[in-house]
Structure 1
Amino acid sequence: MSLAVQNVEKGYGGRKVLQKVSFTVQPNEFICILGHSGCGKSTLLNLIAGFLQPDSGSITVNGENVKGPSKARSVVFQEHALFPWYNIVDNVAFGPIVQGKGKTAARETAMEYLRLVGLEDVAESMPEQLSGGMKQRVGIARALASGPDILLMDEPFGALDVLTREMMQKELLRIWLELKPSVLFITHSISEAVYLADRILVMKNGEVAKVFEVSMSRPRSNALPEFAQLVQRIQSVLTLE
Protein backbone atom coordinates (compact mmCIF):
# COMPACT_ATOMS: atom_id res chain seq x y z
CA MET A 1 0.00 0.00 0.00
CA SER A 2 1.58 3.30 -1.10
CA LEU A 3 1.28 6.56 0.85
CA ALA A 4 1.73 10.04 -0.63
CA VAL A 5 2.01 13.27 1.36
CA GLN A 6 1.86 16.28 -0.94
CA ASN A 7 2.43 19.91 0.09
CA VAL A 8 0.82 19.37 3.48
CA GLU A 9 0.50 22.35 5.81
CA LYS A 10 -0.92 22.51 9.32
CA GLY A 11 -1.06 25.27 11.89
CA TYR A 12 -2.39 25.98 15.36
CA GLY A 13 -3.29 29.43 16.71
CA GLY A 14 -1.69 31.24 13.82
CA ARG A 15 1.57 29.27 14.04
CA LYS A 16 2.59 27.02 11.14
CA VAL A 17 3.57 23.59 12.47
CA LEU A 18 4.02 21.95 9.06
CA GLN A 19 5.02 23.76 5.88
CA LYS A 20 4.63 22.14 2.45
CA VAL A 21 5.70 18.67 3.57
CA SER A 22 5.94 16.17 0.70
CA PHE A 23 7.18 12.59 0.54
CA THR A 24 6.03 9.12 -0.49
CA VAL A 25 6.20 5.73 1.21
CA GLN A 26 6.34 2.58 -0.88
CA PRO A 27 4.77 -0.76 0.09
CA ASN A 28 6.80 -2.58 2.79
CA GLU A 29 9.15 0.37 3.28
CA PHE A 30 10.49 1.30 6.74
CA ILE A 31 10.69 5.09 7.12
CA CYS A 32 12.01 6.91 10.18
CA ILE A 33 11.01 10.53 10.78
CA LEU A 34 13.68 12.22 12.84
CA GLY A 35 13.86 15.65 14.43
CA HIS A 36 13.94 17.78 17.57
CA SER A 37 10.88 18.30 19.76
CA GLY A 38 8.39 20.72 18.22
CA CYS A 39 9.46 20.16 14.60
CA GLY A 40 6.04 18.72 13.64
CA LYS A 41 6.75 14.96 13.67
CA SER A 42 3.79 13.93 15.82
CA THR A 43 1.43 16.34 14.03
CA LEU A 44 2.44 14.74 10.74
CA LEU A 45 1.80 11.25 12.10
CA ASN A 46 -1.63 12.29 13.43
CA LEU A 47 -2.52 13.66 9.99
CA ILE A 48 -1.51 10.41 8.30
CA ALA A 49 -3.49 8.45 10.91
CA GLY A 50 -6.55 10.55 10.08
CA PHE A 51 -6.88 12.02 13.59
CA LEU A 52 -6.32 15.51 12.13
CA GLN A 53 -6.97 17.09 8.75
CA PRO A 54 -4.39 19.26 6.91
CA ASP A 55 -5.03 22.95 6.35
CA SER A 56 -3.83 22.47 2.78
CA GLY A 57 -2.23 19.79 0.64
CA SER A 58 -3.23 16.14 0.51
CA ILE A 59 -2.51 12.77 2.09
CA THR A 60 -3.48 9.77 0.00
CA VAL A 61 -3.22 6.00 0.39
CA ASN A 62 -3.35 4.17 -2.94
CA GLY A 63 -4.65 7.39 -4.47
CA GLU A 64 -7.56 7.77 -2.01
CA ASN A 65 -7.64 10.79 0.31
CA VAL A 66 -7.23 10.09 4.02
CA LYS A 67 -10.45 11.40 5.57
CA GLY A 68 -10.29 9.77 8.99
CA PRO A 69 -8.90 6.82 10.95
CA SER A 70 -8.80 3.41 9.27
CA LYS A 71 -7.93 -0.14 10.29
CA ALA A 72 -5.47 -0.04 7.38
CA ARG A 73 -3.37 2.46 9.39
CA SER A 74 -2.67 1.37 12.98
CA VAL A 75 -0.89 3.56 15.54
CA VAL A 76 1.52 2.64 18.34
CA PHE A 77 2.07 5.51 20.78
CA GLN A 78 4.88 6.13 23.28
CA GLU A 79 2.41 5.43 26.06
CA HIS A 80 0.99 1.95 25.55
CA ALA A 81 -2.59 3.02 26.46
CA LEU A 82 -3.72 -0.49 27.35
CA PHE A 83 -7.13 -0.88 28.96
CA PRO A 84 -6.31 -1.60 32.64
CA TRP A 85 -9.59 -3.48 33.18
CA TYR A 86 -8.88 -6.00 30.37
CA ASN A 87 -6.32 -8.76 30.48
CA ILE A 88 -3.64 -8.88 27.78
CA VAL A 89 -5.40 -11.12 25.28
CA ASP A 90 -8.62 -9.09 25.55
CA ASN A 91 -6.66 -5.87 25.03
CA VAL A 92 -5.28 -7.25 21.78
CA ALA A 93 -8.66 -8.72 20.78
CA PHE A 94 -10.41 -5.37 21.18
CA GLY A 95 -9.67 -4.14 17.63
CA PRO A 96 -10.81 -7.30 15.86
CA ILE A 97 -14.02 -7.28 17.95
CA VAL A 98 -14.71 -3.67 16.94
CA GLN A 99 -14.15 -4.74 13.32
CA GLY A 100 -16.93 -7.31 13.68
CA LYS A 101 -15.16 -10.53 14.64
CA GLY A 102 -16.82 -12.70 17.25
CA LYS A 103 -15.09 -12.88 20.62
CA THR A 104 -13.71 -16.40 20.05
CA ALA A 105 -12.27 -15.54 16.62
CA ALA A 106 -10.93 -12.22 17.95
CA ARG A 107 -9.17 -13.96 20.83
CA GLU A 108 -7.65 -16.47 18.38
CA THR A 109 -6.35 -13.55 16.31
CA ALA A 110 -5.04 -11.90 19.48
CA MET A 111 -3.18 -15.05 20.49
CA GLU A 112 -1.61 -15.26 17.04
CA TYR A 113 -0.09 -11.80 17.45
CA LEU A 114 0.87 -12.36 21.09
CA ARG A 115 2.82 -15.40 19.89
CA LEU A 116 4.45 -13.20 17.25
CA VAL A 117 5.72 -10.78 19.92
CA GLY A 118 6.61 -13.62 22.31
CA LEU A 119 3.97 -12.93 24.96
CA GLU A 120 1.53 -15.82 24.66
CA ASP A 121 2.54 -16.94 28.18
CA VAL A 122 1.16 -13.73 29.73
CA ALA A 123 -2.10 -13.64 27.74
CA GLU A 124 -4.26 -13.88 30.86
CA SER A 125 -2.19 -11.36 32.89
CA MET A 126 -3.34 -7.82 33.61
CA PRO A 127 -1.38 -4.82 32.25
CA GLU A 128 -0.07 -3.74 35.67
CA GLN A 129 1.73 -7.09 35.94
CA LEU A 130 3.91 -6.40 32.89
CA SER A 131 7.15 -4.46 32.47
CA GLY A 132 7.33 -1.38 30.25
CA GLY A 133 8.91 -3.32 27.40
CA MET A 134 6.29 -6.04 27.61
CA LYS A 135 3.49 -3.47 27.55
CA GLN A 136 4.94 -1.95 24.38
CA ARG A 137 5.10 -5.40 22.78
CA VAL A 138 1.41 -5.80 23.65
CA GLY A 139 0.80 -2.39 22.05
CA ILE A 140 2.50 -3.58 18.86
CA ALA A 141 0.49 -6.82 18.90
CA ARG A 142 -2.72 -4.84 19.34
CA ALA A 143 -1.85 -2.55 16.43
CA LEU A 144 -0.99 -5.53 14.19
CA ALA A 145 -4.14 -7.48 15.12
CA SER A 146 -6.21 -5.08 13.01
CA GLY A 147 -4.29 -6.23 9.93
CA PRO A 148 -2.89 -2.81 8.93
CA ASP A 149 -1.00 -2.11 5.74
CA ILE A 150 0.68 0.89 7.38
CA LEU A 151 2.03 0.90 10.94
CA LEU A 152 2.47 4.37 12.46
CA MET A 153 4.75 4.51 15.49
CA ASP A 154 5.14 7.68 17.57
CA GLU A 155 8.37 7.30 19.61
CA PRO A 156 7.20 3.90 20.87
CA PHE A 157 10.46 3.13 22.67
CA GLY A 158 11.18 6.62 24.01
CA ALA A 159 10.20 5.83 27.62
CA LEU A 160 12.17 2.57 27.83
CA ASP A 161 15.60 2.03 29.37
CA VAL A 162 18.52 1.60 26.98
CA LEU A 163 18.77 -2.20 27.11
CA THR A 164 15.01 -2.70 26.71
CA ARG A 165 14.97 -0.18 23.88
CA GLU A 166 17.69 -2.05 22.00
CA MET A 167 15.84 -5.32 22.48
CA MET A 168 12.61 -3.76 21.21
CA GLN A 169 14.37 -2.43 18.10
CA LYS A 170 15.51 -5.96 17.26
CA GLU A 171 12.03 -7.34 17.96
CA LEU A 172 10.39 -4.71 15.76
CA LEU A 173 12.69 -5.51 12.84
CA ARG A 174 12.00 -9.22 13.23
CA ILE A 175 8.23 -8.60 13.16
CA TRP A 176 8.49 -6.19 10.23
CA LEU A 177 10.56 -8.63 8.20
CA GLU A 178 7.95 -11.32 8.83
CA LEU A 179 4.80 -9.27 8.13
CA LYS A 180 6.20 -6.50 5.89
CA PRO A 181 3.78 -3.64 6.57
CA SER A 182 4.91 -0.14 5.62
CA VAL A 183 6.24 1.55 8.77
CA LEU A 184 6.51 5.23 9.70
CA PHE A 185 8.53 5.46 12.89
CA ILE A 186 9.07 8.74 14.75
CA THR A 187 12.16 9.07 16.90
CA HIS A 188 14.53 11.58 18.50
CA SER A 189 17.40 9.10 18.29
CA ILE A 190 19.69 9.28 15.28
CA SER A 191 21.26 5.88 15.98
CA GLU A 192 17.79 4.29 16.32
CA ALA A 193 16.78 5.71 12.94
CA VAL A 194 19.97 4.46 11.27
CA TYR A 195 19.53 1.02 12.82
CA LEU A 196 15.91 0.65 11.68
CA ALA A 197 15.17 2.60 8.51
CA ASP A 198 15.31 2.16 4.77
CA ARG A 199 15.03 5.95 4.54
CA ILE A 200 15.28 8.71 7.13
CA LEU A 201 13.34 11.97 6.82
CA VAL A 202 15.00 14.70 8.87
CA MET A 203 12.53 17.40 9.90
CA LYS A 204 13.37 20.93 10.99
CA ASN A 205 10.98 23.82 11.63
CA GLY A 206 8.00 22.00 10.14
CA GLU A 207 9.76 21.00 6.93
CA VAL A 208 11.58 17.96 5.55
CA ALA A 209 15.12 19.31 5.60
CA LYS A 210 16.87 16.24 4.17
CA VAL A 211 16.18 12.64 3.19
CA PHE A 212 18.83 9.98 3.78
CA GLU A 213 18.85 6.59 2.08
CA VAL A 214 20.21 3.83 4.36
CA SER A 215 21.88 1.25 2.14
CA MET A 216 23.55 -0.84 4.87
CA SER A 217 22.42 -4.46 5.01
CA ARG A 218 20.63 -5.74 8.11
CA PRO A 219 21.36 -6.52 10.90
CA ARG A 220 23.28 -3.28 11.42
CA SER A 221 25.87 -2.46 14.06
CA ASN A 222 26.82 0.94 15.43
CA ALA A 223 30.42 -0.36 15.48
CA LEU A 224 30.57 -0.18 11.67
CA PRO A 225 32.35 2.89 10.21
CA GLU A 226 29.51 3.56 7.73
CA PHE A 227 26.99 3.54 10.60
CA ALA A 228 28.97 6.18 12.50
CA GLN A 229 29.50 8.23 9.33
CA LEU A 230 25.78 8.36 8.59
CA VAL A 231 25.02 9.34 12.19
CA GLN A 232 27.49 12.23 11.84
CA ARG A 233 25.97 13.36 8.53
CA ILE A 234 22.47 13.43 10.03
CA GLN A 235 23.77 15.20 13.15
CA SER A 236 25.26 17.93 10.97
CA VAL A 237 21.88 18.57 9.32
CA LEU A 238 20.10 18.77 12.70
CA THR A 239 22.65 21.17 14.18
CA LEU A 240 23.00 23.42 11.12
CA GLU A 241 21.24 26.74 11.65
Structure 2
Amino acid sequence: MGRHAAPRGVAIPDVRERLFDAAERVLAREGASALTSRAVTTEAGCAKGLLHAHFDGLDELVAELVLDRFARTVRRAEELVARAGQSTVADNLVTVALALLHSLSPTVVGLAMTRPGASLRIRQALAAGAPSFTAIQDSITGCLEAEQRLGRFAEGADTSSIALAIVGTVHHLLMTTWADAPAPREQVGRLIVLLVGAGIDGAASARDRA
Protein backbone atom coordinates (compact mmCIF):
# COMPACT_ATOMS: atom_id res chain seq x y z
CA MET A 1 0.00 0.00 0.00
CA GLY A 2 1.49 3.36 -0.97
CA ARG A 3 2.20 6.28 1.33
CA HIS A 4 -0.45 8.94 1.72
CA ALA A 5 -0.11 12.51 2.89
CA ALA A 6 -2.06 13.51 5.94
CA PRO A 7 -5.25 15.43 5.15
CA ARG A 8 -5.06 19.21 5.49
CA GLY A 9 -5.85 20.42 8.97
CA VAL A 10 -5.08 17.07 10.61
CA ALA A 11 -2.27 17.32 13.16
CA ILE A 12 0.52 14.80 12.88
CA PRO A 13 1.90 13.80 16.30
CA ASP A 14 5.69 14.03 16.82
CA VAL A 15 6.11 15.47 13.35
CA ARG A 16 9.74 16.48 13.89
CA GLU A 17 10.71 12.95 14.94
CA ARG A 18 8.76 11.58 11.99
CA LEU A 19 10.73 13.79 9.60
CA PHE A 20 14.01 12.93 11.34
CA ASP A 21 13.34 9.22 10.97
CA ALA A 22 12.35 9.68 7.32
CA ALA A 23 15.54 11.62 6.57
CA GLU A 24 17.65 8.89 8.18
CA ARG A 25 15.93 6.21 6.10
CA VAL A 26 16.45 8.14 2.85
CA LEU A 27 20.12 8.67 3.65
CA ALA A 28 20.68 5.04 4.64
CA ARG A 29 18.95 3.72 1.53
CA GLU A 30 20.00 6.19 -1.15
CA GLY A 31 22.82 8.35 0.17
CA ALA A 32 23.29 12.06 0.70
CA SER A 33 22.59 13.05 -2.89
CA ALA A 34 19.04 11.74 -2.60
CA LEU A 35 18.10 13.89 0.39
CA THR A 36 15.61 16.50 -0.75
CA SER A 37 12.59 18.07 0.90
CA ARG A 38 10.32 16.06 -1.38
CA ALA A 39 12.17 12.81 -0.63
CA VAL A 40 11.85 13.34 3.12
CA THR A 41 8.16 14.23 3.11
CA THR A 42 7.36 11.40 0.71
CA GLU A 43 9.19 8.96 2.96
CA ALA A 44 7.38 10.38 5.98
CA GLY A 45 4.03 10.11 4.22
CA CYS A 46 3.09 13.73 4.80
CA ALA A 47 2.36 16.87 2.81
CA LYS A 48 5.26 18.41 0.90
CA GLY A 49 5.03 21.71 2.74
CA LEU A 50 5.22 20.15 6.19
CA LEU A 51 9.01 20.13 6.31
CA HIS A 52 9.19 23.85 5.66
CA ALA A 53 6.51 24.47 8.26
CA HIS A 54 8.86 23.07 10.91
CA PHE A 55 12.34 23.69 9.50
CA ASP A 56 13.94 26.48 7.52
CA GLY A 57 14.99 24.09 4.76
CA LEU A 58 17.21 21.01 4.65
CA ASP A 59 20.18 22.61 6.43
CA GLU A 60 18.11 23.19 9.53
CA LEU A 61 16.58 19.71 9.30
CA VAL A 62 20.04 18.10 9.15
CA ALA A 63 21.38 20.29 11.96
CA GLU A 64 18.40 19.62 14.21
CA LEU A 65 18.63 15.90 13.48
CA VAL A 66 22.27 15.83 14.65
CA LEU A 67 21.51 17.92 17.74
CA ASP A 68 18.47 15.79 18.62
CA ARG A 69 20.49 12.56 18.45
CA PHE A 70 23.26 14.08 20.57
CA ALA A 71 20.71 15.19 23.17
CA ARG A 72 19.20 11.69 23.25
CA THR A 73 22.61 10.17 23.95
CA VAL A 74 23.36 12.77 26.62
CA ARG A 75 20.17 11.70 28.40
CA ARG A 76 21.39 8.10 28.27
CA ALA A 77 24.77 9.14 29.63
CA GLU A 78 23.19 11.07 32.50
CA GLU A 79 21.67 7.80 33.70
CA LEU A 80 25.14 6.37 34.29
CA VAL A 81 25.54 7.70 37.82
CA ALA A 82 22.30 6.00 38.87
CA ARG A 83 23.68 2.72 37.49
CA ALA A 84 26.83 2.88 39.63
CA GLY A 85 27.23 -0.37 41.52
CA GLN A 86 25.19 -2.33 38.98
CA SER A 87 26.51 -4.69 36.30
CA THR A 88 30.21 -3.91 35.77
CA VAL A 89 31.97 -0.58 35.35
CA ALA A 90 33.14 -1.53 31.87
CA ASP A 91 29.72 -2.75 30.72
CA ASN A 92 28.05 0.48 31.82
CA LEU A 93 30.58 2.59 29.93
CA VAL A 94 30.35 0.43 26.82
CA THR A 95 26.57 0.88 26.83
CA VAL A 96 26.89 4.68 26.68
CA ALA A 97 29.75 4.63 24.19
CA LEU A 98 27.75 2.43 21.83
CA ALA A 99 24.66 4.60 22.26
CA LEU A 100 26.71 7.56 21.04
CA LEU A 101 28.19 5.57 18.17
CA HIS A 102 24.74 4.46 17.05
CA SER A 103 23.10 7.85 17.59
CA LEU A 104 24.09 8.97 14.09
CA SER A 105 25.12 7.15 10.96
CA PRO A 106 28.36 8.17 9.18
CA THR A 107 26.21 9.35 6.28
CA VAL A 108 24.36 11.84 8.49
CA VAL A 109 27.60 13.03 10.09
CA GLY A 110 29.26 13.42 6.71
CA LEU A 111 26.29 15.34 5.35
CA ALA A 112 26.29 17.69 8.33
CA MET A 113 29.99 18.36 7.84
CA THR A 114 29.71 19.05 4.10
CA ARG A 115 26.67 21.35 4.24
CA PRO A 116 28.06 24.68 5.51
CA GLY A 117 24.65 25.89 6.62
CA ALA A 118 24.01 22.79 8.72
CA SER A 119 27.53 22.80 10.15
CA LEU A 120 27.21 26.46 11.16
CA ARG A 121 23.85 25.84 12.86
CA ILE A 122 25.30 22.93 14.83
CA ARG A 123 28.32 24.96 15.96
CA GLN A 124 26.11 27.85 17.02
CA ALA A 125 23.78 25.56 18.96
CA LEU A 126 26.66 23.84 20.76
CA ALA A 127 28.22 27.21 21.60
CA ALA A 128 24.85 28.29 23.04
CA GLY A 129 24.79 25.27 25.35
CA ALA A 130 23.10 22.46 23.39
CA PRO A 131 23.97 18.97 24.73
CA SER A 132 27.27 17.79 23.28
CA PHE A 133 30.25 15.49 23.77
CA THR A 134 31.28 17.56 26.80
CA ALA A 135 28.08 16.64 28.64
CA ILE A 136 28.70 12.96 27.88
CA GLN A 137 32.27 13.29 29.13
CA ASP A 138 31.01 14.86 32.37
CA SER A 139 28.54 12.01 32.85
CA ILE A 140 31.24 9.38 32.39
CA THR A 141 33.46 11.23 34.88
CA GLY A 142 30.57 11.34 37.35
CA CYS A 143 29.93 7.63 36.90
CA LEU A 144 33.55 6.73 37.59
CA GLU A 145 33.62 8.97 40.65
CA ALA A 146 30.46 7.26 41.93
CA GLU A 147 32.14 3.88 41.39
CA GLN A 148 35.13 5.16 43.35
CA ARG A 149 32.90 6.03 46.29
CA LEU A 150 31.47 2.51 46.15
CA GLY A 151 34.95 1.01 46.14
CA ARG A 152 34.56 -0.53 42.68
CA PHE A 153 37.11 1.78 41.05
CA ALA A 154 40.58 2.80 42.26
CA GLU A 155 40.47 5.97 44.36
CA GLY A 156 43.51 7.51 42.69
CA ALA A 157 42.41 6.90 39.09
CA ASP A 158 42.21 9.98 36.85
CA THR A 159 38.50 9.78 36.04
CA SER A 160 38.35 12.93 33.90
CA SER A 161 41.21 11.78 31.65
CA ILE A 162 39.63 8.34 31.24
CA ALA A 163 36.33 9.98 30.29
CA LEU A 164 38.11 12.25 27.80
CA ALA A 165 39.86 9.28 26.20
CA ILE A 166 36.57 7.38 25.80
CA VAL A 167 34.65 10.32 24.36
CA GLY A 168 37.54 11.35 22.11
CA THR A 169 37.80 7.86 20.68
CA VAL A 170 34.07 7.59 20.12
CA HIS A 171 34.11 11.00 18.41
CA HIS A 172 36.90 9.78 16.11
CA LEU A 173 35.06 6.56 15.29
CA LEU A 174 31.81 8.42 14.70
CA MET A 175 33.53 10.64 12.14
CA THR A 176 35.55 7.92 10.41
CA THR A 177 33.55 4.68 10.60
CA TRP A 178 32.52 3.50 7.12
CA ALA A 179 31.40 0.23 5.62
CA ASP A 180 34.91 -1.25 5.29
CA ALA A 181 36.22 0.01 8.64
CA PRO A 182 36.84 -2.31 11.63
CA ALA A 183 33.79 -2.92 13.82
CA PRO A 184 33.58 0.08 16.17
CA ARG A 185 31.91 -1.96 18.90
CA GLU A 186 34.98 -4.15 19.24
CA GLN A 187 37.33 -1.18 19.21
CA VAL A 188 35.36 0.66 21.88
CA GLY A 189 35.09 -2.46 24.02
CA ARG A 190 38.84 -3.09 23.94
CA LEU A 191 39.62 0.54 24.74
CA ILE A 192 37.28 0.67 27.72
CA VAL A 193 38.60 -2.60 29.13
CA LEU A 194 42.12 -1.18 28.79
CA LEU A 195 41.27 2.18 30.34
CA VAL A 196 39.18 0.99 33.27
CA GLY A 197 40.93 -2.32 33.88
CA ALA A 198 43.69 -0.82 36.00
CA GLY A 199 41.16 1.12 38.05
CA ILE A 200 39.08 -1.99 38.71
CA ASP A 201 42.15 -4.04 39.57
CA GLY A 202 43.34 -1.27 41.87
CA ALA A 203 40.02 -1.21 43.70
CA ALA A 204 40.10 -4.97 44.13
CA SER A 205 43.63 -4.83 45.53
CA ALA A 206 42.61 -2.13 48.00
CA ARG A 207 39.70 -4.27 49.22
CA ASP A 208 42.00 -7.26 49.63
CA ARG A 209 44.38 -5.21 51.76
CA ALA A 210 41.57 -3.83 53.92
User: Is this a same-fold pair by TM over 0.5?
Assistant: no
Task: Using CA pairs under 8 Å that are at least 6 residues apart, name the structure with larger relative contact order, 1 or 2.
Answer: 1
Q: Whose strand proportion is higher, 1 or 2?
A: 1
More helix per residue:
2
Q: Which protein is bigger by CA-based radius of gyration?
A: 2
Normalising to structure 2: TM-score of the pair? 0.29
